[in-house]
Chains A and B, each alone.
Chain A
Amino acid sequence: MAFDTDPRAEPVRLSDRVYAILALPAMAFFRLFEWPLRFLQRILGIGAMPYVFLFPNLAFFGIFVITPLILSIGFSVTGGTNLFLQDRPYVGAEQYGYLLECGNHLDPTTCREDRFWRAIYNTGTFVFFQVGFMVLFSLITALILNREIRGRGFFRAVFFFPVLLSPVVVALIWKWILLRDGVLNAALVSMGLERILFFVDPTWSMFWAIFVSVWAHMGFYTLILLAGLQAIPPDLYEAAEMDGTSKERVFWRITLPLLWPNMLVVIVLALIKAVQIFDEVFVLTGGGPGTATQFIVQYIYTTGFANQVQNFGLASAASVVLGVVLFALTIVQLAVTRRKDEG
């Protein structure tokens, strides 16, 4: 995690009135536990109190994160359509074999489970372009918003707000624009061009999947880069101006090298998010046309839950494969963040 600024650097305060409204029931609630916990402290001793405080959170972790994590291995080595593990026959590595077996791994049509491989290749294409454009546009936006422009606060809000929109809302906003009779096609027709059926054409569908997800999440990465830009000491720029250094040179020699740690964080975070793409694209294109915009998470969802025959084993095996990829990326992320915090 990137704690690049001290959380207390810029103190934020809830308005007193909101605080008062929320505080009353909260205080009543906490007071309710006053006696039971005092009693607990008396019998267990103060040394046990940290465990008492940690218990609820760790119990949730145990039930909803660690247990599933272990079970997922169990699912991936058993077959059948039963959800309950004790009723599932052990099949060893069969699920993985089925998933990974290909005549030629570069050609999904030769794979036994071609949908999985198509999903992998689609995700690869998506990740490559989405992360590329995401980094490019959030960098440009951050550089521009870092300048002394009139109405900077307004412009920042404009680029940031889609981050808060739900994926369903984002997808519907754009679907409404891109439909056959949508406003974009109206614009094309009025310019004398042909209508384009965006969601019938595989390339256009992929393009809009990438475009819409960049549109929706760019503000988040812009914000990280903006924080990085503002941390660059202004005297460096002043010195460069004194020397009459050109703006281009200042960018390549000062801004970019000093921003690079933040750029790395942005790239890795964007990668981790992009590999798990599902929500917006699922609502926007439904994975179509055909399987043109079907990604790994949608493959897992469809195989495990949406299909008529719920193949939990195959879905789990695919999850484990995705998990391994994410784990590798997270290790990179931790390394990058650590280097940034130390440097």
Chain B
Amino acid sequence: MTMASTSSSGRPVLGFLTRRREGGQWHWTDVFTYVYLVLGVLLMFGPVVWLVLSSFKTPAGLLEFPPTLLPLGQIEVQVEGYDDPLPLFAVTMEDGTVKELAQIRRIGIMAQMVDPENPGERVSVPINTREPIREMRVATENYIDPLETFNFLRYLQNSVIVTVVATVITLLINSMAAYGLAIYDFKGRNAIMLFVIGTLMIPVTIVLVPTYLVVTQLGMVNTLWAVILPGAATPTGVFLLRQYMLTIPKDLIEAARMDKASEWTIYWRIVLPLSLPAIAVLAIFSVMWRWNDFLWPLVVLTRNEVYTLQIGLNAFQGELDVQWHYVLAMTVVTLIPVVLVFAFLQRFITTGIASSGMK
């Protein structure tokens, strides 16, 4: 923008066209910024909007190519003498009149049609003379059916149990460990701290088989405990909470000891309430980790009734004949808690990530 005066004197017309209210001028980066942002919004939001719109379409509506934007569905009518409802078309007849006919079957470029008012009479018309009759139809059954026909409610319940129980355990044992490491000066503290940081380097991907053995030995395969326990002691959490607890003034703890408070009392009455912001960040992280967890549950949960939402959803989309109308609706349901968390706690999450460099 500081270049404005020199460049506009050379090219007065361009200078006039690119003049701005603020006095500066358009730099190519300004144009780029807005183009990028517009494209960015389309690319980031578009797919999710498309998912939600599609999830309200009927199976017939989903099959249409090219797809319609809104959940339009072809009207289907029940015709006497036919078991299944037949799709309704507007057919331009040879004499130029337009009739509403239901299609019985399609043979090559011809379609066999029947008049719903007069089921006895069949006509054969070329397929390019007929146009489907659509109506706006929101297929809420996509959301309701899976609740009954599939184990969807069970998956939802499993996911909620795993997320809540695991987060509670994580918060408890991580905050205890962090308290021990932050408040006391004891032999082996540095070694333990190093050990905690060391375990950060061991992701589940490299210990899949032996962890499976441990879980099997403990008799937890195909129970929710197999998903909850192995990841409960997060090194990230210990580290995050410890760094925060270090900032709590030692005098406060000394004063409490003077008053004959036990160490446990100091932990939960003084240190925990003061560490609430860091605990909130860890709680949000833990909920995200657990709700979205995939690889480990995929390994240890092989029976349908212990599936979490993610595993159940993956099983549905992997079927030979994918029922997309249900898969899309269930995907939306899986998305909802995350959207809620995001809408209400975005600031927590972004400051948490920015301050810890972790997710």
List A residues at the B interface (Cβ < 8 Å): 1-14, 19, 27, 30, 33-34, 37-38, 41, 46-47, 49-54, 56-58, 60-61, 63-72, 74-75, 83-85, 140-141, 144, 147, 149, 155-169, 172-177, 181-183, 185-186, 189-190, 215, 220, 223-224, 226-227, 241, 244-247, 265, 269, 276, 278-279, 283, 286, 297, 300-301, 304-305, 312, 315-316, 319-320, 322-323, 326-327, 330, 337
Contacts and interface: CB of A to CB of B under 8 A. Distances in A.
Given A38-B262, A244-B2, A12 B277 contact: yes
Interface in B246-267: 247, 262-265, 267
Interface stretch (B91-99, B101-109, B198-206): B198-206
28 contacts: A4-B355, A41-B262, A46-B263, A50-B180, A50-B189, A54-B177, A57-B174, A58-B233, A60-B173, A61-B233, A67-B214, A147-B33, A164-B292, A166-B310, A166-B338, A172-B313, A172-B331, A173-B51, A176-B51, A176-B328, A183-B50, A185-B65, A186-B66, A226-B354, A245-B2, A265-B357, A319-B206, A320-B206
Contacts of A70: 210
B208 interface: yes
Contacts of A276: 203, 205
The 10 closest A-B pairs by CB, nearest first: A2-B357, A60-B233, A53-B180, A71-B210, A166-B292, A57-B177, A68-B210, A186-B66, A37-B264, A50-B184
B74 interface: no
A166 B308 CA distance: 12
Mostly, the A contact residues are: helix
Interface of B: 2-3, 27, 29, 32-33, 36-37, 40-41, 43-45, 47-48, 50-51, 54, 63, 65-67, 172-174, 176-177, 179-181, 183-184, 186, 189, 192, 195-197, 199-203, 205-214, 216, 229-233, 235, 238-240, 243-244, 247, 262-265, 267-268, 272, 276-278, 280-281, 288, 291-292, 294-295, 298-299, 310, 313-314, 317-318, 324, 327-328, 331, 334-335, 338-339, 341-342, 346-351, 353-359
B209 A160 contact: no
B347 A12 contact: yes
A11 B353 contact: no
B288 to A, nearest CB: 6
B262 A144 contact: no
A176 B263 contact: no
